[in-house]
Each structure stands twice: as C-alpha cells, then as structure tokens.
A = this chain, B = another copy of it.
Amino acid sequence: MVIMTRTCEPDTRDTDVRVAVSTVIFSVRRDAHDEPVLSLPLVRRTRDPFEGRWALPGGWLDAQESLDAAASRTLAETTGLTPSYLEQLYAFGVVDRSPTRVVSIVYWALLRSDEVDAQVAAHARQDDAPENVEWFDATDLPALAFDHNEIVEYTLWRLRNKVGYSRIAHGLLPDEFTLADLREVTETILGRRLDPANFRRQVDTSDTLIPTERFRTGSHRPARLYRYNRDVELAERGPLTSRL
C-alpha cells in the first residue's frame, strides 16, 4: 500500500483531489397537452469550462458531510426539495484538462411530482423562481456540459432496468395513489404502454403495495388508493444500498 504524507504545495503533485457530487434528479411532470413527461432539472453554467451550457446540478463535497448528505444538499439547493429516493450511481475519475484533479460522484434521485408542482407554484407566486435552473425532457436533452449526456443516458438505463424488477415508481408519486397513477408513471419511464390487467397482478403479487379503504372518485368507476409498503425495502436491494 502506498502511503504518502500530506504536503502543502500549490500544484497538485500528490494524492490530494477535490470531490464533486452531481445528481440526476428525475420527476414526472405534465407538458402543455397534460401528457406526463420524465423530466430533470439542469443548471446553466456561469463559468468557464462549458460556460452557458446546461449541466447536472452539483457541488463540492464538504469536509464534514457524507456523500449521501452532499447529494441531498445539492438537490435541496437546486430544487428546494427532499428526494423520495436517492441512490449512488458511479464515481468518475476524470483525468482531463482540469488543473486540479477532480473525482466526480454521481447520484440519481426521484422526486414526488406533487411536491415538485407545489414548489414550482410557490416560487411562481413569490416571484423568486431560481435563476438558471430549468426542467427538461429527459429523453430529449440539448448538448450538456462535460460528459453529462452520457451520464443521464446511463441513469435512464438504470432507472428503466430497476423499474422492471423493483418497485420504485412510487417514488415519483404522492403517499396515496391509484394503480393507474403508478402504471402511468411506469409507462412514462419505460416509454411504452403496459397492460393494465397484468400490471395490477404484478404489483399485488409483489406485496409492495398496501390497499387503503379510500377511493379516488373521477368521471368513472372509483379507483382504490394504495400506499407503499416500506417493509419490503430491505429484501430487494443489496446490503449496502439499504443504508439510505
């Protein structure tokens, strides 16, 4: 094992690096035609590398916070919200152009659409909408800074994968939701339609949902509201990710 003493010099010669944390934040929002769109917030860069380009929200890791905490803080600073789901994605050791060495740790998160809507509405009322932050269609992004396009692509792949064997789509929904809600969100993530009958069977054989006695009454037959069963979390994830 290589052991180096921590020296104090202006140039980056030894093992000191800076750690950045970025987060791909997904939520399902409605477009002009009221269609659900898988969306993510981006930040416009205001300084040199890639100035003016859109980038993933992020920041530097503080000395006294954990990686997860840094991701949450980043997310709060950008959207003012707490994630309903947060998972580490990958660590990138860029050796590029930068004068100082940077290691970038990427997280991905889900936000409940109702909270996003409320927050955006509040900002609109108080006229304090954050500058340089905008929501984009995750499947139709402009050219981003750094390799952020690839990162989003990978995250999207991971999300689509995970929605198949795990039940995380509820992370985009309020506490209580109908199966149609859950199915619509899942369809938005996957980009294809699902059979309502089979979808119902899959979720209720997986024991991830608790039926309530409440119903949503709409223009047709009322739909039962469900609630997420938090006791399932441990089994389906790995030993480490369950720490979140």
Contact = CB atoms under 8 A, between A and B. Distances in A.
Interface in A59-78: 59-68, 70, 77
A118 interface: no
Contact of A8 (B8, B59, B64, B154): B8
Interface stretch (A98-106, A121-129, A204-212): A98-106
Contacts of A9: 8
B150 A14 contact: no
Contacts of A32: none
Interface string A72-110: 000001000000000010111101000011010100000
Nearest to A61: B15
A16 interface: yes
Interface in A184-211: none
Given A93-B66, A154-B240, A239-B153, A60 B18 contact: no
B58 A1 contact: yes
A45 B1 CA distance: 9
B239 A154 contact: yes
A4 to B, nearest CB: 6
A239 B17 contact: no
A92 B103 CA distance: 13
A235 to B, nearest CB: 12
A157 B238 contact: yes
A30 interface: no
Contact of A2 (B59, B150, B239): B59
A47 interface: yes
A68 B1 CA distance: 17
A67 B157 contact: no
B63 A13 contact: yes
Contact of A57 (B1, B67, B153): B1
Contact of A66 (B19, B43, B95, B153): B95
A17 B238 contact: no
Interface of A: 1-4, 6, 8-10, 12-19, 43, 45, 47, 57-68, 70, 77, 88, 90-93, 95, 100-101, 103, 105, 150-151, 153-154, 157-158, 161, 238-240
7 contacts: A1-B58, A4-B60, A15-B63, A65-B95, A66-B95, A67-B91, A161-B238
